[in-house]
């Protein structure tokens, strides 16, 4: 029995900031201090507050140390672990009340409004130790299902819970399972979509890094419910930590008899294998994903038939994403009524969001469905930094849309987001401030979609390129009002005629920015200016002669010699030479240079 447990984040974000070195240094210093029998170091998954990583929490005190470096470790061991004195300079400031009082993490703004179900064990257990998962009721749901419930009772439980797919479309999970169960076949499959490709999204990766057994257990439950004996997890090869922990988890589950033959002596057989994706965004679409698992080029298939009838290898298949599976065991253990009591009438439970962009607290949050955008951004996320104002939030990645500041009080759920021209998507939430050009944002997501289109259908392959050409024309100062009309018409044509979800939703960022920020498009076309000063072709840097002190700092830092002027005299910028790199404005100490 250890007197202290030191939890260190081992997720991708903190690992990139030397958390592995921190763990190694901790173990060395603890051994040197003779504390190896008293202090336990635990490598966990993501705690969620990524902006403050690397993160370390010491229990039982619950001291939350943020932005820890390897150089801080000796002090933590000497002062806290050996002498019992908290190192206050490293504490997350939101937990500090006064010199003598530190409040719990759950009382801080970032965590107090969260309700963790899918992220229940992330940052709590060592994901590479199956015993730790079992200690928090891991595989208890699978045991209950195999020994106390029929397959139909499992499906009925998921149906009653109201759980909808967390991968984007929001299709009822229980209905999907019931369709696959109703189709008779000599072989059925359960697949997990871990091909998380949205820019700024890292929800599924974090679950797999912090709690991989929750997904394995849920897939086995799904296999029992529909009559499948084989599962596949399709995961991006760019997620090496998640892949490694999945491999470890699968091996451990097999050793414990929780995967393989005759699980819990029930006669039920189920095993899981991993398939690595090569980074194609289109393989997040279910039929393209299955085609890729089969060893073919990852292209979508025409539906119907749907995967529940003819999926992987032509057999009935259930496919859900990581977050969907991460809810299953908790629903089985706590009951469908418990889950359906959380959220809104048509969107039950919670949703995990990856907060990114112009936000104080970037990271991973899980909130009840129906939480407003304002609560997520201002209260949980800490608001927009550096004195700027919130302008818009983009949900759903390249398939979603932009939500303006006027709709910040919209409850976030599947139906409300669709009504305002966006979508839930897998859970990326990118915050933008008043320095963001919305035309440029639409172009950014469209560039991504054009690059990721598989090219199988003409509306997506050709149509998205035409959209991008029009946007490039507008942002370069050569657009016309007719281009804006053509842009909108082409968007609707692509939505109606593209083969799969990638093409059908590709116009969403364009349509939502046209809907809420059309004035910016018009300014680019009629006034030949970018109101946010982002589009280089429409932006000029200007020196205010009343503020310029003639210090020559701007001229000395201009890489192309576009700035001239005498010492102690106002300088000027030759716009024909200026490459609009912004170095002059960045270096000016007198706020004399602005973008117009």
Residues 129-150 have a mean pLDDT of 97
| 56 φ/ψ angles, rounded to the nearest 5 degrees | -140, 135
Please give the structure tokens belonging to residue 314.
């032509």
**The CATH number, out of the four listed (3.40.50.1980, 3.30.70.20, 3.30.365.10, 3.40.50.720), of the domain defined by the range 540-595:** 3.30.70.20
Neighbours of 37 (CB within 10 A): 10
Q: What is the pLDDT of residue 445?
A: 93
**Domain 350-433, CATH 3.10.20.600 — does that match?**
yes
Is residue 401 within 8 A of residue 205, CB to CB? The reply is no
Instruction: Decide the pairing of beta strands 189-194 and 101-102.
Output: unpaired
Q: What spatial distance separates the first Cα and last Cα of the chain, rounded to whole Å?
A: 65
| Distance between CA atoms of residues 334 and 329, nearest Å | 9
For residue 579, whether the previous peptide bond is cis, meaning omega lies within 30 degrees of 0, is: no
Using the structure block, give the residue that is written with the tokens 């061991």: 77
pLDDT at 332 over 90: yes
Is residue 67 within 8 A of residue 87, CB to CB? The reply is no
- Condensed to tens digits (0 to 9), the pLDDT of residues 44-89 reads 999 999 999 999 999 999 999 999 999 999 999 999 999 999 999 9
Which H or E run includes 443? helix 438-452
Give Cβ neighbours of residue 34 (< 8 Å, ≥ 6 apart): none
Is residue 396 within 8 A of residue 428, CB to CB? The reply is yes
Distance of CA 92 to the CA centre of its chain: 23
Q: What is the DSSP string of 380-435?
A: IS---STTPPEEEEEESGGGSEEEEGGGTT-B-SHHHHHHTT---TTSEEEEEETT
Q: What is the pLDDT of residue 207?
A: 97
List the beta strands (DSSP E) in 237-267.
260-263
- Condensed to tens digits (0 to 9), the pLDDT of residues 334-354 reads 999 999 999 999 999 999 999
| Distance between CA atoms of residues 356 and 534, nearest Å | 19
Instruction: Decide the pairing of beta strands 96-98 and 101-102.
Output: antiparallel
Is residue 316 within 8 A of residue 183, CB to CB? The reply is yes
| Distance between CA atoms of residues 563 and 572, nearest Å | 6
pLDDT at 588 over 70: yes
At the second CATH level, the architecture of 4-112 is: 3-Layer(aba) Sandwich (3.40)
Helices and strands (DSSP H and E) totals, the chain: 24, 20
Instruction: Decide the pairing of beta strands 39-44 and 4-9.
Output: parallel
Residues 30-35 have a mean pLDDT of 96
Neighbours of 32 (CB within 10 A): 11
Burial of residue 515 (CB within 10 Å: 0-12, 13-18, 19+) is: middle
Instruction: Decide the pairing of beta strands 363-368 and 350-357.
Output: antiparallel
Instruction: Decide the pairing of beta strands 541-543 and 593-595.
Output: antiparallel
Is residue 540 within 8 A of residue 578, CB to CB? The reply is yes
Give residue limits of the domains in the chain: 4-112, 130-340, 350-433, 438-527, 540-595
Q: What is the pLDDT of residue 198?
A: 84
Q: What is the pLDDT of residue 397?
A: 85
Pick from 129, 136, 119, 272: nearest CA to 202? 119
Q: pLDDT tier at 100 (50, 70, 90 boundaries)?
A: low
Instruction: Decide the pairing of beta strands 563-564 and 572-573.
Output: antiparallel
Residues 86-115 have a mean pLDDT of 86
Least confident among 84-93, 127-136, 150-159: 84-93
DSSP H stretches of helix in 498-589: 501-505, 508-522, 553-557, 583-587
**Which residues pair with residue 189 across a beta bridge?**
230, 317
Neighbours of 93 (CB within 10 A): 10
List the beta strands (DSSP E) in 181-267.
189-194, 230-236, 260-263
Residue 6's SS3 state is strand
| Distance between CA atoms of residues 376 and 371, nearest Å | 7
Q: What is the dihedral of CA 579, 580, 586, 590, to 10 degrees?
A: 100
Which H or E run includes 190? strand 189-194
Q: 177-215 burial, b if ≥16 CB within 10 A, otherwise e? A: bbbbbebebeebbbbbbbbbbbebbbbbbbbbbbbbbbb
At the second CATH level, the architecture of 438-527 is: Up-down Bundle (1.20)
Please give the structure tokens belonging to residue 338.
């418990």
Which H or E run includes 214? helix 212-226
Q: What is the pLDDT of residue 91?
A: 94
Residues 558-566 have a mean pLDDT of 94
Residues 15-22 have a mean pLDDT of 96
| 350 φ/ψ angles, rounded to the nearest 5 degrees | -120, 170
| Distance between CA atoms of residues 457 and 510, nearest Å | 20
Q: What is the pLDDT of residue 313?
A: 97
DSSP state of 370: T
Residues 205-232 have a mean pLDDT of 98
Mean pLDDT, the chain, rounded, equals 94
| Distance between CA atoms of residues 210 and 245, nearest Å | 9
Using the structure block, give the residue that is written with the tokens 């990271």: 363
pLDDT at 270 over 90: yes
- Condensed to tens digits (0 to 9), the pLDDT of residues 488-506 reads 999 999 999 999 988 999 9
Give Cβ neighbours of residue 50 (< 8 Å, ≥ 6 apart): 11, 13, 14, 362, 363, 364
DSSP state of 457: S
Is residue 159 within 8 A of residue 83, CB to CB? The reply is no
| 231 φ/ψ angles, rounded to the nearest 5 degrees | -125, 155
pLDDT at 167 over 90: no
Q: pLDDT tier at 585 (50, 70, 90 boundaries)?
A: very high
What angle, 0 to 180 degrees and rounded to 10, lies between the N-to-C axes of helices 481-497 and 508-522?
170
Residues 533-551 have a mean pLDDT of 91
| Distance between CA atoms of residues 533 and 596, nearest Å | 6
**Which residues pair with residue 117 across a beta bridge?**
none
Q: Domain 130-340's class?
A: alpha beta
Q: Do domains 130-340 and 350-433 have the same CATH topology?
A: no
């Amino acid at each position: 029995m250890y007197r202290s447990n030191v939890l260190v984040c081992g997720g991708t974000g903190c690992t990139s900031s030397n958390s592995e070195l921190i763990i190694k240094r901790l173990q060395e210093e603890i051994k040197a201090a003779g504390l190896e029998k008293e202090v336990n170091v635990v490598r966990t998954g993501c705690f969620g507050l990524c902006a403050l990583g690397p993160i370390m929490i010491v229990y039982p005190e619950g001291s939350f140390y943020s932005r820890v470096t390897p150089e801080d470790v000796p002090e933590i061991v000497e002062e806290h672990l050996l002498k019992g004195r908290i190192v206050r300079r490293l504490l997350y400031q939101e937990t500090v009340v006064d010199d003598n009082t530190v409040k719990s993490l759950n009382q801080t703004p970032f965590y107090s409004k969260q309700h963790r179900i899918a992220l229940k064990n992330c940052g709590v257990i060592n994901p590479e130790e199956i015993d730790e998962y079992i200690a928090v009721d891991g595989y208890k749901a699978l045991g209950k299902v195999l020994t106390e419930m029929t397959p139909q009772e499992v499906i009925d439980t998921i149906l009653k819970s109201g759980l909808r797919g967390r991968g984007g479309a929001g299709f009822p999970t229980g209905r999907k399972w019931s369709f696959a169960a109703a189709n008779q076949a000599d072989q059925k499959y359960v697949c997990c979509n871990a091909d998380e490709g949205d820019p700024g999204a890292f929800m599924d990766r974090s679950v797999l890094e912090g709690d991989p057994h929750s997904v394995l257990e849920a897939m086995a439950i799904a296999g029992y419910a529909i009559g499948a004996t084989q599962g596949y997890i399709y995961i991006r090869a760019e997620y090496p930590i998640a892949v490694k922990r999945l491999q470890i988890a699968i091996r451990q589950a097999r050793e414990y008899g929780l995967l393989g033959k005759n699980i819990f002596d029930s006669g039920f057989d189920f095993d899981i294998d991993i398939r690595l994706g090569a980074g194609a965004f289109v393989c997040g679409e279910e039929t393209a994903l299955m085609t890729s698992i089969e060893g073919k080029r990852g292209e979508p298939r025409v539906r119907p038939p749907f995967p529940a009838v003819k999926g992987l290898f032509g057999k009935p298949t259930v496919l859900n994403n990581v977050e969907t599976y991460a809810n299953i065991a908790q629903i089985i253990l706590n009951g469908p009524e418990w889950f359906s009591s959380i959220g809104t009438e048509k969107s039950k439970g919670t949703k995990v969001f990856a907060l990114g962009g112009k936000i104080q607290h970037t990271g991973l949050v899980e909130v009840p469905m129906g939480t407003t955008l304002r609560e997520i951004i201002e209260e949980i996320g800490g608001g927009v930094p550096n004195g700027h104002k919130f302008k818009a939030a983009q949900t759903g990645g390249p398939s979603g849309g932009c939500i303006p500041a006027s709709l910040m009080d919209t409850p976030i759920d599947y139906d409300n987001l669709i009504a305002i021209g966006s979508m839930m998507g897998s859970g990326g939430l990118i915050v933008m401030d008043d320095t963001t050009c919305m035309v440029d944002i639409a172009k950014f997501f469209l560039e991504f979609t054009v690059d990721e289109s598989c090219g199988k259908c003409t509306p997506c392959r050709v149509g998205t390129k035409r959209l991008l050409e029009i946007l490039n024309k507008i942002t370069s100062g050569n657009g016309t009002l007719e281009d804006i009309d053509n842009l909108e018409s082409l968007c609707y044509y692509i939505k109606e005629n593209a083969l799969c979800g990638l093409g059908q939703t590709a116009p969403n960022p364009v349509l939502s920015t046209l809907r809420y920020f059309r004035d910016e498009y018009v300014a680019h076309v009629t006034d030949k200016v970018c109101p946010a000063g982002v589009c280089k072709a429409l932006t000029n840097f200007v020196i205010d002669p009343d503020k310029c002190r003639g210090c020559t700092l701007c001229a000395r830092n201009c890489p192309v010699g576009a700035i001239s002027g005498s010492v102690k005299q106002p300088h000027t910028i030759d716009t024909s030479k200026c490459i609009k790199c912004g170095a002059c404005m960045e270096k000016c100490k007198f706020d004399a240079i602005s973008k117009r």
